[in-house]
Amino acid sequence: MTYDRFFSAALALLHEERRYRVFADLERTAGRFPHATWHSPDGPRSVVLWCSNDYLGMGQHPKVIKAMVDTAVRVGAGAGGTRNIAGTNHPLTQLEAELADLHGKEAALLFTSGYVSNQTSIATIAKLIPNCLILSDALNHNSMIEGVRRAGGERKIFRHNDMAHLEELLIAAGERPKLIACESLYSMDGDVAPLAKICDLADKYGAMTYVDEVHAVGMYGPRGGGIAERDGVMHRIDVLEGTLAKAFGCLGGYIAASAAVVDAVRSYAPGFIFTTALPPAVCASASAAIRHLKSSHWERDHHQNRAARVKAVLNTAGVPVIPNDTHIVPVMVGSPEKCKEASDLLLVEHGIYIQPINYPTVPRGTERLRITPTPCHSDALVDALAEALVDVWRQLGLPLRYRTLAAG
Ligand code: PLP
């Protein structure tokens, strides 16, 4: 039996649906982000990154790099095992204290990624509550969906950000325990959950709340605590989940919650128990990023300024930006072929890297370019991006959306 044919057939299907993914081989240069080298088939080329989730450029911040290097030199590279077997490295304990403080919670627990933190925490929390019904937003990230599935109990999906539907489901559930799981900022459309209303409903119907702040921590709120901090509802949410891999520029995921929740997840969650802890150098660098962003507003302010500028320039140029109030700049293409072609042309002809976003990350027919401005993108880079997009849109016969002055 030649097993490879199964895999070749699966790959052929992706090619047929025009959603086979190709990754660019990139090398960032610390201090020059968003500039990077693309190791193209024809050799190295200088390109500008416009789709990194290192939203604030903290991955190249001197304090973050120094903390990582100093710690690795001092204590070595790896963590040496799972925490259950090898104990805990001190920089990891310090990071958990930093995270608990960031979110105003009694405790925090670190995982090897945001993905793992959702997958294992949601499942563990729901399993520990007898007869728990999970109410999950329809657009929740795959890591949350996996957590909900692994919980194994009953679940209901409420229409995205639809509070009337959520309330309907809460009423229908009656007196049983309920866990509402949602994100604060949905990263493909850039829209925000009505967290205060979700907390009101949770209070009214006695539900527990779990909120993924992966695309908001570091970037929103006076200390970078996320949308919940910005909206003044952090203390009303039971479990806040986040990543260290986006605005904090490092790697890892976490939950912050009451001491009882954190201790229970620590004690029962397989995704925590059975895997090696994050390296101490990574923990130290994440702590440096969090600490910096608790007091520095420059990155957050400049980030919002850059996102607003990109949206304004692209809208003026007629590029079809999906409107939202956050830092994400989604540009609708609506076809997997054209999305890939647009991405290829931007890279090859303009030295601009924006990965195409296809199904299953977004629904079919809503394929898009997802642009993520950072504080490191200058006005000149923004103008060059707009010119490149207009050129590519014309080459591919995609519609530009010129607005009349009267229409604003
Ligand atoms: N939650 C959401 C909403 C995400 O978009 C992602 C990843 O992009 C994750 C969780 C996973 O986080 P991480 O990249 O740290 O694994």
pTM of the model: 0.96
Nearest partner of 357 among 345, 373, 378, 371, judged by Cα = 371
Residue 356: cis peptide before it, omega within 30 degrees of 0:
no
pLDDT band at 408 (very low <50, low <70, confident <90, very high): very low
242 C-alpha vs ligand 1 centroid, how far in Å?
Answer: 8
186 C-alpha vs ligand 1 centroid, how far in Å?
Answer: 11
Of the residues 139, 143, 191, 240, which should be mutated to test ligand 1's pocket, given the most ligand atoms within 8 Å of the CB?
143
CA distance 58 to 98: 17
Segment 21-31 mean pLDDT: 94
Q: Where are the beta strands (DSSP E) in 66-175?
A: 107-111, 133-137, 155-158
- Chain segment 291-315, per-residue pLDDT in tens: 999 999 999 999 999 999 999 999 9
Residue 404 predicted with pLDDT over 80: no
Residue 406 predicted with pLDDT over 70: no
Atom of ligand 1 nearest to the CA of 53: 8
DSSP, res 174:
T
- Chain segment 388-402, per-residue pLDDT in tens: 999 999 999 999 986
Catalytic residue status for 178: no
**Whats the size of the chain, residue-wise?**
408
Task: Give the per-residue pLDDT at 403.
Answer: 57
pLDDT band at 157 (very low <50, low <70, confident <90, very high): very high
β-pairing verdict for 35-40 and 43-49: antiparallel
Q: Is the CB of 141 under 6 A from ligand 1?
A: yes
Residue 326 predicted with pLDDT over 90: yes
- Chain segment 277-295, per-residue pLDDT in tens: 999 999 999 999 999 999 9
Q: Is the CB of 251 under 6 A from ligand 1?
A: no
Atom of ligand 1 nearest to the CA of 116: 16
Segment 98-107 mean pLDDT: 98
Q: Is the CB of 113 under 6 A from ligand 1?
A: yes
114 C-alpha vs ligand 1 centroid, how far in Å?
Answer: 5
- Who contacts 406 (Cβ-Cβ below 8 Å, separation ≥6)? none
Do the Cβ atoms of 55 and 248 come closer than 8 Å? Answer: no
Task: Give the per-residue pLDDT at 182.
Answer: 98
Atom of ligand 1 nearest to the CA of 243: 15
Percent of the chain with pLDDT over 90: 97
Query: φ, ψ for residue 187 (rounded to 5)?
Result: -80, -10
Q: Is the CB of 119 under 6 A from ligand 1?
A: no
Q: What distances in angstroms separate CA 276 from CA 112, 122, 209, 253, one per listed residue?
A: 8, 20, 28, 14
Do the Cβ atoms of 397 and 391 come closer than 8 Å? Answer: no
Residue 407 predicted with pLDDT over 70: no
CA distance 121 to 356: 30
Q: Is the CB of 147 under 6 A from ligand 1?
A: no
- Among the listed residues 246, 311, 338, 340, the single catalytic one is 246
Q: Is the CB of 114 under 6 A from ligand 1?
A: yes
Q: Where are the beta strands (DSSP E) in 106-234?
A: 107-111, 133-137, 155-158, 178-183, 207-212
The pLDDT mean for the chain works out to 96
